[in-house]
Copies of this chain bind each other. A is one copy, B any other.
Amino acid sequence: MSKSKRLMDLMMTVNRKKKFTVKELATEFNVSTRTILRDLQELSELGVPLYSEVGPHGGYQVLNERILPPIAFTEEEAVAIFFACHALRHYAYLPFETESSSALSKFYFYMSGDVRDRIDEMKNRIDFVIPSRQAKFPYLSILLDGAIRQKVIRIEYGSRESVSARLIQPVGIYASSGLWYCPAYCFLREDIRLFRCDRIRSAVEDTSGTQPRDLRHLHLGNREALLPSEQQFTSLYVELSEEGVHRCEAEYWSATKLHRREDGTGWLEGRMPKGDIPFLAQFFIGLGTDATVKCPPELIDDIKRRLAELMARYG
């Protein structure tokens, strides 16, 4: 095997192993330890952050970073990756430890001149807008970690007035229009609930010994299963104008209920939990004349009540 190929392989190997001895590598690559030592020195000079300790149980370690081999991207691909990462800057909170900007600047730095020029021209011409919120999400990492390792997390949850302690087992986390949400099994309610991460006041791994449930079948790709199971349902039917259809398309919950007609108008039809009446009443009022609720009657009543209240307010 030629030296350059061996160096490449070595790069990968040390990144995979993270901890290793010279002898080990010498055996693996069928060269002498002297050669490996020389190679490692060269890798060091190439930027791989190696660290070594002498003595028994000593050996080499790779610090933190890992090397990505040369990858052939098309120009379009490189640009797309750049802007995807660029969009992350809109998120003040991310469940990754590192600032994504460091990755971005590395990526940018290594790109050849004309791709860089291309990116510079595009930088102020394209954007993925995400609402910037004041809300704080300091516990995304621990929630995500809980979801991955299926751990029970103890959180304090609530609004300004009332805070309650709960044990939850996160299913995952997702960001939607600037807010982070965490669907999770709630040991208090004994059902799946959706938590808004900015209302989580604290989060730590539970130490009381509560056994995690077996929720491996639940994940974000499996949304239907995330709905709370023990609720009273009623039937929803809403007529929508063309604009009403557009507005509903932006709503996560309506995807399965939305039907479209040839002429652009449409309707919502499906089951809805009774607990959603307040939310939906307000939502359909917001659609104005672009939505006409036909049933359930409870929803219509709530809409009427709210309209009356508003009328009173504006005299």
A277: CB under 8 A from chain B? Answer: no
Q: Which residues of B contact A287 (CB under 8 A)?
A: 286
Q: Which residues of B contact A95 (CB under 8 A)?
A: 126
Q: What is the size, in residues, of chain A's interface with B at 8 Å between Cβ atoms?
A: 113
CA distance A242 to B95 in the complex (A): 26
A186: CB under 8 A from chain B? Answer: no
A229: CB under 8 A from chain B? Answer: no
**Chain B, Cβ-Cβ closest to A218:** B124
**Chain B, Cβ-Cβ closest to A242:** B160
Task: Decide: A72 near B100, CB < 8 A? Known: A249-B131, A289-B310.
Answer: no
- Report which of B71, B282, B311 forms a contact with A106, defined as CB distance below 8 A: B71
CA distance A230 to B234 in the complex (A): 50
Contact with B along A289-308 (1 / 0, CB 8 A): 10011000000100110111
Kindly provide the distance from the CB of A269 to the nearest chain B CB, expressed in whole angstroms: 17
Kindly provide the distance from the CB of A60 to the nearest chain B CB, expressed in whole angstroms: 16
Q: Is the CB of B98 within 8 A of A250?
A: no
A55-98 at interface with B (beta carbon < 8 Å): 64-81, 84-85, 87-88, 94-98
A22: CB under 8 A from chain B? Answer: no
Task: Decide: A103 near B73, CB < 8 A? Known: A125-B173, A126-B144, A129-B174.
Answer: yes
26 contacts between A and B (CB under 8 A): A4-B7, A16-B112, A64-B75, A66-B72, A66-B73, A67-B71, A68-B68, A68-B111, A72-B106, A73-B106, A77-B98, A81-B85, A84-B84, A122-B148, A124-B219, A124-B220, A124-B221, A127-B175, A133-B246, A133-B249, A134-B260, A159-B242, A177-B177, A286-B286, A304-B314, A311-B311
13 additional contacts, CB 8 Å, given A47-B70, A80-B88, A126-B172?
Answer: A74-B102, A77-B102, A80-B103, A84-B88, A87-B87, A124-B220, A125-B144, A125-B219, A126-B173, A133-B249, A177-B250, A307-B310, A311-B311
